[in-house]
């Protein structure tokens, strides 16, 4: 009975090939486009988080509890060597890097400007961060007395590799101290703001300028499994006794709140697109089924006159609606996944690369990823929409009387 109903439903779907073809085309194109947009947004989000963590931040940061700004912690703390040793012993920790982040003035013989200063241990930082891979001229800092600057800073200062520039900042005692440093390298991450405002120098040079002694402002931690972020953060916090030592532990989500806002906006756009696609699919199937119902009223009347129950006729219409949605679903998913597969291997050029990378670096080519969870939800929703679109015609046909249907012209 069920098999016969399915066969009849499939045959009826293609009775009016032109109308059914247009409806199926709308479902196929809509679903394929939805798969592509889901993949694009999820790929952008994943790429954005990965680059933010690997270039600028880290999975976890330890800072003084007195610091108000997580991006540039102004308060220092001591005992970094002991904390670093505890962190390195944890099996989930891949790399640890001590840092001092502060603001200062950078000057060349021709110009000067305010910058943010990343002071690091070069060996530890290259294990935690990928910043050294973005150096286009020269090399990343290795020794005291050297500095790495962004490409836009180098352009503003007319500074070249090997030349001396001066870093000045306010020390702990309030005096304005400075130090001449040799430009070891010029990096270009692709992020407009970072390349135009951040420089790298060694911890020792920063501690000398700030008169901080052995104090630092943060310890960056890279972990093995990003999905275990909260669990590892909680365990590390207990291990180093953050509250007892006047410290706080932050994740990349706390430090890079703008990424969360961007992702929330992208998710809102995705929800809007999904809603539009499903409305188009629902209206297309509903229109086709209502037209089919109107054209086949006499046929349904004859079926009821020959003994078919009204609920069977209603189920037939509902089955036709689901069949139409399922056929569109199959081909839409096939086309969508095929398109994603192509751009997964060859990459998708980003014509708005500079606009997208104003705050964060984006490569000119984005390699799409499959968003299997989102795709599965889209498939489920198409099935539900197909069922919903068939309910109205099914209800209407269930109220038909055989005699009235046979008189229909």
Domain boundaries, the chain: 2-53+259-406, 59-255
The answer to whether the beta carbons of residues 79 and 266 sit under 8 Å apart is: no
For residue 192, what pLDDT band results from cuts at 50, 70 and 90? confident
- 3-class state of residue 259 by DSSP: helix
User: Mean pLDDT in the chain?
Assistant: 82
Give the number of other Cβ atoms within 10 Å of residue 406's Cβ. Answer: 16
Q: Pick the residue with more confidence: 5 or 372? A: 372
The answer to whether the beta carbons of residues 365 and 348 sit under 8 Å apart is: yes
Element (H, E) at 106: strand 93-107
The secondary structure of 24-81 as a DSSP string is HHHHHHHHHHHHHHHHHHHHHHHHHHHHIIIII--SEEEEETT-S-SSS----BS-HH
**What is the rounded radius of gyration, in angstroms, for the C-alpha atoms of the chain?**
31
> Could you tell me what percent of the chain has a pLDDT over 70?
83
- Which range has the worst mean pLDDT, 44-48, 116-120, 141-145, 197-201? 44-48
* Measured distance CA(350)–CA(363) in Å, rounded: 8
Angle 253-258-262 from CA coordinates, rounded to 5°? 105
* Alpha carbons within 13 A on the beta-carbon side of 30: 27
The model's pTM is: 0.74
Report strand pairing: 164-170 vs 93-107. Answer: antiparallel
Element (H, E) at 333: helix 310-346
The answer to whether the beta carbons of residues 333 and 382 sit under 8 Å apart is: no
* Measured distance CA(59)–CA(47) in Å, rounded: 15
User: Which residue is associated with the tokens 């539009």?
Assistant: 276
Tell whether the model's pLDDT for residue 309 goes beyond 80. Answer: no
For residue 409, what pLDDT band results from cuts at 50, 70 and 90? very low
Q: What is the pLDDT of residues 283-296, one digit of tens each?
A: 887 777 777 666 66
* Measured distance CA(110)–CA(104) in Å, rounded: 17
- Which range has the worst mean pLDDT, 80-89, 152-161, 317-326? 317-326
Tell whether the model's pLDDT for residue 71 goes beyond 70. Answer: no
- What mean pLDDT do residues 315-326 have? 79
User: Which residue is associated with the tokens 């006047």?
Assistant: 246
Structure tokens at 40: 């694009």
**Listed residue (112, 91, 103) closest to 225, CA to CA:** 91
Q: Rounded to 5 degrees, what are φ and ψ at 396? A: -65, -40
Q: What is the pLDDT of residues 24-51, one digit of tens each?
A: 888 888 889 889 999 988 888 888 788 7
DSSP 234: H
Residues 6 or more apart whose CB falls under 8 angstroms from that of 104 comprise 114, 115, 117, 167, 168, 169, 170, 209
Q: At what angle do helices 17-51 and 310-346 cross, to 10 degrees?
A: 40
* Measured distance CA(41)–CA(273) in Å, rounded: 11
* Measured distance CA(363)–CA(206) in Å, rounded: 32
């Amino acid at each position: 009975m069920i098999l016969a109903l399915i066969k009849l439903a499939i045959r009826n779907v293609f009775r009016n090939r032109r109308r059914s073809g247009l409806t199926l085309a709308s479902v196929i194109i809509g679903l394929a486009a939805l798969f592509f947009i889901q993949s694009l947004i999820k790929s952008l989000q994943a790429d954005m988080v990965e680059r933010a963590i690997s270039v600028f931040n880290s999975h976890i940061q330890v800072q003084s509890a007195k610091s108000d700004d997580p991006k540039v912690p102004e308060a220092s703390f001591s005992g970094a060597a002991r904390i670093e040793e505890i962190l390195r012993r944890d099996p989930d920790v891949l790399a640890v890097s001590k840092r001092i982040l502060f603001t200062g003035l950078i000057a060349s013989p021709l110009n000067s400007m305010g910058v943010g200063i990343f002071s690091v241990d070069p060996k530890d930082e290259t294990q935690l961060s990928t910043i050294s891979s973005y150096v286009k001229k020269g090399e990343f800092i290795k020794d005291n007395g050297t500095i790495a600057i962004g490409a836009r800073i180098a352009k503003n200062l007319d500074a070249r590799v090997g030349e001396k520039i001066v870093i000045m900042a306010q020390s702990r005692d309030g005096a304005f101290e400075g130090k001449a440093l040799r430009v070891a390298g010029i990096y270009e991450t692709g992020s407009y703001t970072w390349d135009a405002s951040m420089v790298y120098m060694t911890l020792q040079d920063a501690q000398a300028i700030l008169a901080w002694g052995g104090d630092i402002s943060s310890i960056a931690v890279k972990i093995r499994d990003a999905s275990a972020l909260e669990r590892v953060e909680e365990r590390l916090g207990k291990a180093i006794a953050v509250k007892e030592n006047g410290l706080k532990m932050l994740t990349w989500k706390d430090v890079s709140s703008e990424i969360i806002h961007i992702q929330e906006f992208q998710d809102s756009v995705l929800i809007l697109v999904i809603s539009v696609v499903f409305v188009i699919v629902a209206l297309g199937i509903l229109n086709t089924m209502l037209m089919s119902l109107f054209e086949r009223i006499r046929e349904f009347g004859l079926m009821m006159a020959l003994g078919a129950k009204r609920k069977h006729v209603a189920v037939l219409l509902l089955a036709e609606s689901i069949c139409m949605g399922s056929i569109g679903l199959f081909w839409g998913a096939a086309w969508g996944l095929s398109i994603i597969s192509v751009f997964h291997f060859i990459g998708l050029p980003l014509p708005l690369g500079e606009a997208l990378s104003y705050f964060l670096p984006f490569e000119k080519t984005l390699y799409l990823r499959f968003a299997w969870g989102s795709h599965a939800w889209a498939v489920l929703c198409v099935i539900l929409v197909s069922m919903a679109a068939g309910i109205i015609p099914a209800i209407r046909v269930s109220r038909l009387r055989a005699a009235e249907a046979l008189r229909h012209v």
